[in-house]
Structure formats: structure tokens, C-alpha cells
Structure 1
Amino acid sequence: MKTVYDILIVGGGPGGIGTAVEAAVHGIENILLIDKADNHSSTIRKFYKANKKVDKDWKGQTINIEGNIPFMDGTKETTLNFFDRLLDEEKIDTAFNEEVENIVKNEKENIFLVTTATKSFKAKAVVITIGKMGKPNKPSYKIPPSIKEFVNFNLDDCSHGEKILVVGGGNSAAEYAYELADEGNTVTLVYRKAEFSRLNPANEDILYQYNGQEKLRLRLNTDIISLENEHGKVKVNFDDGYYTIYDRVIYAIGGTAPVDFLKKVGIKLDEKGKPIYDEHYRTNIPGMYVAGDIAFNTGGSIAAALNHGYHIVNSYLRRSGKLYSYTQKVDEFFKNHPQFKE
């Protein structure tokens, strides 16, 4: 919290790496790259087999690299090694195993507060490049197909006057619970632990206040064993031997879907759920940008994502009045990275 980053990047894929490295090449010093996985490029690590080819011109797209990252065709291993060297040699700050839960802008200070389950960061600008692969975590037990329409992983399709069970112990679960209670629903929040450990103070205060006022019920130290269809409603069987019938169950147990996350942080979306941005990749929130597949139909092109980072950094420098001739900086980059000239 003591450091105010110039640029904070949410997402450690090619778009995030491209933004971080371009920022460093342009002379920006305080840069932070955050990703919920345990390392960058999680999609490549997870879905690419060993020695699988990684093409610059993905699916026949011919895209010229516009920035300062000379990405070329390679394999899974050489691509990951290439990105490792970029991040290490440019000394980019990283925070892995940190899933961003919310981003709020302090308009008075013109600073963003970025919060994860355990930490908070401040930044002058934020770039969201989380890709389209994100999806909510689901329970290990089976959800019967006949009641799937009454099981949610966000607030979509919720109505008023329902009896709802919210599952989870994080800030998203807390916010779902008290917002639904405010809308006239009968809400129970169930959490498997005896006390909350990941809530920010404001959300925790609201939960216990609402619980005391009987606006919602907290059911702590309780886990769910299974779900059943009970005459068209959701029967929830708990590990304490009891069960309860609900109109709807909402899971908030991590892995927020990208569209839900964009809505939460206040980015305006079009009718297809795509973020709205201008020619400089700026959203409706000044200082907040989008890059990569979350915003653009790149088809997974690494080259296109790297270009997004280049243009975002230039836009940031223009806005902040820091754009200058960086020929010397680029020359120094290639002097220190002779292998990239090839």
C-alpha cells in the first residue's frame, strides 16, 4: 500500500506481459503484474502440450509487431522462456496467486485501489487483460441437471422474494448476500469455516449487522454435501445432518467470470457483453484500459496482444505528459538483449 504503481496490470498473459515490458522500455519504473495463477502465461502452461508450436501468425493472421518485443515462432518451452527473460531482465514486479476481487477509483486522489483476497495495491493506471478463459469455480459434488436453472454463479436471473442460499466466504459472496437481502429476498450465507478470513472490514461489518437485524442469516462452520431436486426447488444437504429447501443457490467460491468482473469494476459493456473502449483502448473509467481477448477478437494471437500493450503504454504516456523520444532507451534495450535482434 505504500507504493503507488504507475501502471498495474491484471492478467499475466501476452497482453499483460506486453504492457509491462513496453512500460519498462519506455522508462516507466513502478510496474506491477498480477495474476491469479502461480505464474505468468497460465493458458500456455495448462493447455499446450510439451514442444507444441507457438505461432506468431496465429491461425493465418499476419500481424506485424508494432512495439519493442521481437516475438517470433517457437515452442511452448521457448515462448515461456522468452517471457521469463523479459520479465526478469526488466525487473517487473509480480504478484502471483493473487486473484483481483475489485478495483475502485478514488476520484479525489485520482488513484485506483486494487484489492485481492489478502492484499491491496494502489496505482495511477490499471490495465485489465484477463483473457476469456476465466470462469467461476464450481463445487465438487454434482448439480442435478433438473435444477441447474436455479443454481447461479453470479446475480443474473435473480428476482425478488426468493429464498436464496449464497455459498462462499469471500467479498463477492458477502456482497451478493447483502445486496440480495436489500432487494427483498430471504438470504442465508453459508461458509465452511468458523469465521471469515478474507473479508474487507466494510463487508464483514455489514454481514454481522444484517445478521443481527435478521436481514440475512449467517451459517458458519457448515459445508454442503449435495444438492437434490425437491419438487422443482433446490434441496441442500449440509454436513451437520440437516437440509433446507431453497428457491435458488448462488456460488461465489472464486474464479469470477470475466464479464462479471468487468461489470463489478464499473466498465461499461455493449449488448454482447464486450467492454466499450476508444481507439486508445481506454474504457469509460479514465485511467483504466483493456487489452487482449477480453476486449478484442484476436483469436488468441500473441502478436496482437503484445501490440495492445504497446499502444496502451503510449496512450498512458500521452495522458500523463511523459511521452518523449525513447530511441536511446530502445537502443539500450537491444544492447542488453542482443539475442532478440535475431
Structure 2
Amino acid sequence: MDNIHNMVIVGAGPAGIATAVESYILGIRDIVLLEKDQNHNATIRKYYKDNKRVDKDWKGQKVELDGNIYFMDGTKESTLDFFDEIIAHHFVELRTHTEVQKVVKKDDYFEVMIPGGSIKARFVVVTIGRMGKPNKPDYKIPATIKKRVNYTIDECSEGEKILVVGGGDSAVEYAVDLSEKNDVTICYRRETFRRANPTNRDAIANAIAHNEVRPYLGTNIEGLEDDNGKVRVIFAEREPETFDRVIYAIGGTTPSAFLTGSGIRIEDGKPVHDENYMTDIPGLYVAGDITQESGGSIALGLNHGYAIAQHILKNIQNA
């Protein structure tokens, strides 16, 4: 544990993997990639439904790839296979089940604090995503129904009456997918699904037109109650209604406590960094969706990794 690694990367999503792989291609060695979950790309595994489309140009945002990782449109499954392959082919050391508590700057290295100890590194790249901390409603959820209030569709069973809350791609995809075997309502505070991509907007419009999904648009939720083990939803604009399950798909939150605890300055909800994604602390970088305005672009995350790898190599050569 006293060994000082060249680089520690916190978070094994696209940006973290890209940073490791691009650095390896440039000849940098002794790189450690840390992931608190049981495998890389936990957000894709948890929050993407099976066979979900994964586009390089996320939400129509055209991105030219800068580095050596050639990412193409695919599905949830093909994307995970793709990252499996590039990790295996570039000898990236991936340590899973390792949750980082904070990053501490020393004189000429960093200590990455983990339960029971620390890992030392000359450079640290933080690529944890927003969906590691999914947004939750402001109102309190009664303890007796917490198992019926979820943030993915993993717990859903066939034949349930389900309320999906949200208006983005995940919410729309959940609602359409669940409607095949369930009674589904989608609740969104706005009148249209303008946040969703065109394909998903067409899918939800078709589902609503065929009475497969019931829309509660322009509708706000004021709270949840226990109704004999089911979830009674208190709406602001309509009468209360009881559901077997409620799924919240309302995005994720910037991990502000972790970032500020590691000395990273935050402005307008995002970590402050320069054009090389380095923070105010020399040698400490940020990448991925925590740096993006709307988050979620795999292609941009890959480009972040390439830029960081190039900058770290220059720092190593100039040391």
C-alpha cells in the first residue's frame, strides 16, 4: 500500500475506462481503476433497460471522437461487451467493490482514501457519475412502502399497477417497456416529453395513443402515503391514486459532498476545471458526466479521457 502509483482513476464508467486505456496506449503504466460497484459501467447496468439503444451522438449531440477508442451505436449489451473487450486488451487493473471516501493532496502525491486505508498516486482522475446518486423526491417516503418505491425497473413484477415519474429518456423507456405486461401511468410536471430523444418521443406518443400508457402531464406530486402496503400518491392537480409501485426516473445529482471534501471547487453545480479537465489542484482531474451540462454522453466522456491522458503524459515527461 506504500507504493505510489502513476495514476488512480475513481469510477469505471466510459470516461474512467477511456482515461486508463488512452494512458496505457501512450505508454503510461501502473494505472489503477477503482469502482465501488461489482463491475464497470454500473450506471448502464442498473439504469438502462435490456436492449436499450445506446447512441454515440447522445440526444443528437454530434461528437467527433478524438482518441483511439472507436465507439459506435449499439445496445446496452453490445456497449458493455465493447468495454469488457477494451479493458481486457489493454491490461487495465480494475479493482471493484472499492468505494473512495475522498482524495487528499500531499506534497507531491495524492492519497485516495478507501475503507481501511488509502492508495497513493501521482495523478488522480475523478470520473464518478451523477447516477451514482439518483435524484429522489423532496417529500418523505414512508418506511413501510420504501420497497415499492424504486429508481430502476429491476423490482417490477408482471401485472402491477405502476406509476413512472419523470419525462426524460429513462422515464419514457421504462413506461413503454413496462406497459407490455403492466398497467402503467407516466407522471411528468411538464406538458410534453421534450427532454426525450425523438425516437422515445415517438414511442411514448404511440403508447399513449393506443391506451397502453396513461399520461398525467402537467402534474406534480405532493407526497406518498401507505395504503395497506401499496403506494398512495398525492397529486397537486388531481385526486389521490394508489399504485402497486412507483418508479422515479428523474436524473442524478452531482456528488457535491465528495467533490468538495476532496478540495474540488464547484460552481453552477459542476466541478471547476481548465481546458485539460484539471481542477484547481494540480494533478487532480475530473471527467465524464459530472462535467457536462446535461450529462450522459459516452462519446464526450471518451474524449475527456483522451485529453486527460495527453496532459498527464506531458506532465510526466516534464517532471
Structure-2 residue corresponding to 1:204 = none
Write the distance in 2 (CA, Å) between the matches of 1:136 and 1:69: 28
Larger Rg over CA atoms: 1
Letter paired with 2:262: V
Any conservation in 1 of the 2:37–2:98 contact (CA below 8 Å)?
yes
Contact conserved, 2:12 with 2:34, CA < 8 A, in 1?
Answer: yes
Report if the CA contact (8 A) 1:292-1:298 is conserved. Answer: no
CA contact (8 A) 1:111 1:124 kept: yes
Alpha-carbon distance in 2 for matches of 1:137, 1:35: 21
Shift of 1:61: 0.9
**Aligned counterparts of 1:31 and 1:41: Cα–Cα separation in 2:** 18
8 A contact 2:23–2:313 mirrored in 1: no
Which of the residues 307, 312, 335 maps onto 2:308? 312
The offset of 1:87, in angstroms, is 0.9
How far apart in 1 are the matches of 2:294 and 2:134? 23
Match of 2:276 among 264, 273, 280: 280
Distance 2:133 2:38 in 1: 17
Q: State how 1:180-199 maps to structure 2 within 5 Å.
A: none
Report % sequence identity.
52
Paired position in structure 2 for 1:111:
109
Residue in structure 2 matched with residue 120 of structure 1 by the alignment: 118
- What is the TM-score when the length of structure 2 is the normalising length? 0.61
Distance of 2:122 and 2:110 partners within structure 1: 6
Distance 1:124 1:86, change over 3 A: same
What is the distance in 2 between the residues matched to 1:263 and 1:2? 26
Give the letter for the 2:120 counterpart. Answer: K
Partner of 1:2: 2
Q: Following superposition of structure 1 onto structure 2, how do residues 121-136 of structure 1 map, counting pairs within 5 Å?
A: 121-135=119-133
- Per-residue deviation, 1:74: 1.1
Give the conservation status (yes or no) of the 8 Å contact 2:288–2:301.
yes
Distance 1:76 1:36 in 2: 20
Alpha-carbon distance between aligned partners in 1 of 2:80 and 2:301, rounded to the nearest angstrom: 15
3-state DSSP class of the match of 1:100?
coil
Change (3 A) 1:75 1:60: same
- What is residue 317 of structure 2 aligned with on the other side? 321
- Give the 3-state SS of the residue equivalent to 1:113 in structure 2: strand
1:67 aligns with 2:67: yes
1:294 and 1:262 map into 2 onto residues whose CA distance is 10
For 1:287 and 1:11, locate their aligned partners in 2 and report how far apart those are by CA, in whole Å: 17
What TM-score does the superposition give when structure 1 sets the normalisation length? 0.57
What's the offset of the Cα at 1:33? 0.7
CA contact (8 A) 1:298 1:304 kept: no
- Residue pairs, 1:1-342, within 5 angstroms: 1-107=1-107, 110-135=108-133, 258-270=255-267, 272-297=268-293, 299-321=295-317
Cα distance, 1:129 vs. partner?
0.7
Amino acid in structure 1 at the alignment position of 2:51: N
Residue by residue, what CA displacement relative to the aligned partner does 1:159-184 show, whole Å, maximum 9, x if unpaired? xxxxxxxxxxxxxxxxxxxxxxxxxx
Q: Report if aligned partners of 2:43, 2:132 keep a CA contact under 8 Å in 1.
A: no
CA-CA distance at 1:134 after TM superposition:
2.6
Match of 1:252 in 2: none
Q: Give the root-mean-square deviation of aligned CA atoms.
A: 2.3
Cα distance 1:38–1:49, how it changes in 2: closer, same or farther (>3 A)? same
Letter of the structure 2 residue corresponding to residue 70 of structure 1 = Y
Is the contact between residue 127 and residue 288 of structure 1 (CA under 8 Å) also seen in structure 2? yes
Q: Distance in 1 between matches of 2:38 and 2:254?
A: 18
Structure 1 counterpart of 2:300, which letter? A
The answer to whether the 8 A contact 1:111-1:122 is kept is yes
Deviation of residue 40 (structure 1)?
0.4
